[in-house]
Amino acid sequence: MIPLSHYLLVSAVLFGLGTVGVLISRNLITILMSVELMLNAANLALISFARWHADPGAHVFVFIIFVVAAAEAAVGLSLVIAIFRRKNTVDVDELNILKG
């Protein structure tokens, strides 16, 4: 059987890559996707801990994260569309109206 640490390593790598994506990307959609990637990394950690402690409660939690991710994607993408209509771009560096 595969040890828990392996799964946690994969989860950590995915989470870190998600962070990198949020930091280096200028495209709003890629940033949103990196956030989804981080959510998925958390899911993997939850599921592997659930298996380790033989407690299916974490599965319920992951289910709820799915719902949150779906809501986040829906609202986030509508924001992207609204921004695109206004500014004709999805480049986060261009969204600087609030800058003094």
Partner 1 sequence: MDFAVFWIAAGVAGAAAINLIFQSKPINSVLSLVVVLFALAVLYLQLSAEFIAALQIIIYAGAIMVLFLFVVMLLNLNQDQFGSNRKPGLRSFGVLIGGTLIIEISLIARAFVSSSPTDGQVVAAEFGSVAQVGRLLFGEYLLPFELTSILLLIAVAGALVLAGKREEAQPPEERS
Span 49-68, contacts to partner 1 by CB under 8 A: 50-54, 56-57, 59-60, 62-64, 66-68
Tell me the number of residues near partner 1 by CB under 8 A: 75
Query: Among 44, 45, 41, 31, which Cα is nearest to 73's?
Result: 31
CB of 7 to partner 1, least distance (A): 7
| 3-state secondary structure (DSSP) of residue 46 | helix
- Helices (H), ranges, the chain: 4-24, 28-53, 57-87
CB of 4 to partner 1, least distance (A): 5
CB of 65 to partner 1, least distance (A): 10
Task: Note whether 42 binds partner 1 by CB under 8 A.
Answer: no
**Residue 96 is encoded by which pair of tokens?**
């600087």
